[in-house]
Chains A and B, each alone.
Chain A
Amino acid sequence: MARIEVSQQKVTPDIAERLVSACPFGAMVVNEKGLSIEAGCRMCRLCLKADKDGVLTLVEDKPAATVDTSAWRGIAVLAECVGDAIHPVTLELLGKAQEMAVPTQTPVYVVVMGWKISAAVSNLRYYGADRIYVYESKSLEYFEPLRFTECVADLVRKIKPSVIMAGATSMGRSLAPRIAARFGTGITADCTGLGLRENGDLVQTRPAFGGNIMAQIVTPRTRPQLCTVRYRVFDAAQERKEPTAEVEHMQVPAGLEDLGACVADALAKPKELDISDAEVIVAVGRGVKDEAGLQLVRQLADKLGAQLACTRPMVENGWFDPRRQIGLSGRTVKPKLIITVGVSGAVQFAAGMNQSEFIISINKDPHASIFSISHVGLVGDLYEVLPLFMKRVEREGLVR
């Protein structure tokens, strides 16, 4: 057990004050026992950095579980089928997997589970994987976490992949953590950056602590290493002229129907408005304060043929449909052009759109964090800029 210990005899009020303020989680407190660390501690170790007087010591015991990581090799992508088609996130995962695999010549696998999926499987052979493992059975027609976990667990025991990647879809977010728990290993959700070290460690980057911070995360002691990635974060694998992947049909584990859960019925949802497919987006934030402001933004979107999107507060105040929300709790978008209007740029929002090809931002506040991720920032009042812009468009005409 790693823990931080306090040498009380060295603590002075000054030191205590500094260390208390160094803790971002309020876990360092002064109480009747002196300077103490409470259960709020997340072992971020920032207090150790702030400790210039040797008051704190990090005590590390030997970690408990360690596997022979060298016995695990390869990257397995969990494919997702929509009917007999492949979800595009699968191809994006494959693209990233191949990119990571090149320097270490790591094999890339795809796991496909479902029913009547032969079209999807033969299509997948053209996307650069080395091998496709297929679990096909009527009992896998719909995604059911226990059944799919059984299949992936079967494969993990047989081929020992070092890395398992899943899309951060309804399916991936439900399946991947179950697999991680079954093997007592680590999982990192919604990675925005991935890399593979020579020793096989997957270097995962994601926004963390719900703040404007990125965390670099590794799973050094256990295998497989699981991660999920959202749709439209990475570039899709290129289709090859010739199929590269061999297909292996696996024996589906027995007794899947007896695990205590089944999908009795699946009702297709009507095709929904989906901002993640839009080529141009106008995103609205709290800087837009009233109906008049909304009207201005609507006009702008109309002129550009853009989809309207928004930040979380705009959904919370009821002005927008939740399906238009960009960010960690909304959609991830990657349009060719996005114009943000009155958006401050919280990291959760930024994580949902910073892969966009070109970002223009309009905000009154020159210190708004949105400007640090924008290609072009316009520091000004939207209520002033937008009407003048529209006037100009009217005057000079629209050449779309």
Chain B
Amino acid sequence: MNIIVCIKQVPSTTKVEVDPVTGVLKRDGIKSKMNPYDLFALEQAFLLRERYGGTVAALSMGPNQARDVLYEALYMGADSAVLASDRRFAGADVLATGYTLSQCVRKMGEYDLIICGKQTTDGDTAQVGPEMAELLGIPHACNVLSVDGFSEGTLTVKANMDHSVYTVKMKAPCLITMEKDVNTPRLPSYLRRKKRGDAEISVWGMEDLPDQDESHYGLTGSPTQVERIFPPEVTEDRECFSGSGEELAARLYSLLREKKRI
């Protein structure tokens, strides 16, 4: 079973502020890490490789620094890693991101399964997986709790829906997004790191992909446009009280009384 796992580098902190006067993002050295949801996707891939054999390839898109998360995937046990990195991919929205990744998948060759994390912690949209599946013309299932079997080219999974748990059967190749906390992701291994210290990461730009039309990538290939960014609305008529504990407790009491909650 040949598996491709999509991973993303995200900021370690979620605290980004915008200056209300200039509208400029305030940044003080944002650190990065692997999107935590992707760890469950990687672990699922390794478990399937143990059960069915085959290979696990990690795929990411981002700036050069995103190599870090691919190295992490390699040290966890991935067999190979691909980074899509090109200035022309910059400013990509969901469609252009899904498109670039699907182009990489086409170049990567034969595969049975693509596994993505449930969502990312920076975008929180959970959309790139299903879009990739559509662009590759393969079935998908979201929020997968477990992979129950793979036989005669059919994958059986349990998918977490709002009100029920579905048992879904899909013809391979197909794509799944993994629910969080469904397994215990292994740690990167020091031995593997020592052995693969100079492991090759393939870095692909647009010239390396099957589709060479610039207008399908990055900002130009993105149908959505961010018109402006602004700080969140501030609640009007708000009050703030400071004082001794006694005063605040009294304030809380009278307030809840007023609201008829006590």
Contact = CB atoms under 8 A, between A and B. Distances in A.
Contacts of B191: none
B18 A222 contact: no
A2 B251 contact: no
Interface stretch (A154-162, A246-254, A286-294, A358-366): A358-366
Interface stretch (B50-58, B192-200, B234-242): B234-242
Q: Which 4 A-B pairs have the closest CB atoms?
A: A211-B16, A43-B91, A64-B215, A40-B63
A378 B248 contact: yes
B15 A264 contact: no
A329 B226 contact: no
B109 interface: no
B11 to A, nearest CB: 6
Instruction: Label chain A's interface by main secondary structure.
Output: mixed
Contacts of A379: 240-242, 248
A371 B234 CA distance: 9
A268 interface: yes
A39 B169 contact: no
Contact of B238 (A21, A144, A374): A374
B87 to A, nearest CB: 5
Nearest to B227: A216
Contacts of A42: 90-91
A280 B261 contact: yes
Interface residues of A, number: 119
B25 interface: yes
A30 interface: no
B122 interface: yes
A170 B143 contact: yes
B223 A304 contact: no
A169 B142 CA distance: 11
B219 A1 contact: yes
Interface stretch (A103-111, A116-124, A173-181, A233-241): A173-181
B162 A24 contact: no
Interface in A11-65: 21-27, 37-44, 46, 49-50, 61, 63-65
A360 B249 CA distance: 12
Contacts of B16: 24, 209-213
Interface string A236-278: 0000000000000000000000011111111111000000000
B214 to A, nearest CB: 5
